A = this chain, B = another copy of it.
Amino acid sequence: MRLLARLLEPKATAYAHCDLPCGVYDPAQARIEAESVKAISQKYQDSNDPAYQTRALIIKEQRSELVKHHLWVLWTDYFKPPHFERYPHLHTLFNEATKLAGAAGTKGSADVAKAEELLAKIEEINKIFWETKQG
Contacts and interface: CB of A to CB of B under 8 A. Distances in A.
A36 B24 contact: yes
A52 B91 CA distance: 30
A5 B35 contact: no
Contacts of A57: 51, 54-55, 58
A22 B1 contact: no
A92 B91 contact: yes
Interface of A: 1-2, 4-6, 8-24, 26, 28-29, 31-36, 39-40, 43, 51-59, 61-63, 65, 68, 72, 75-77, 79, 84, 91-92, 95, 98-99, 102-104, 107-108, 110, 126-127, 130-131, 133-135
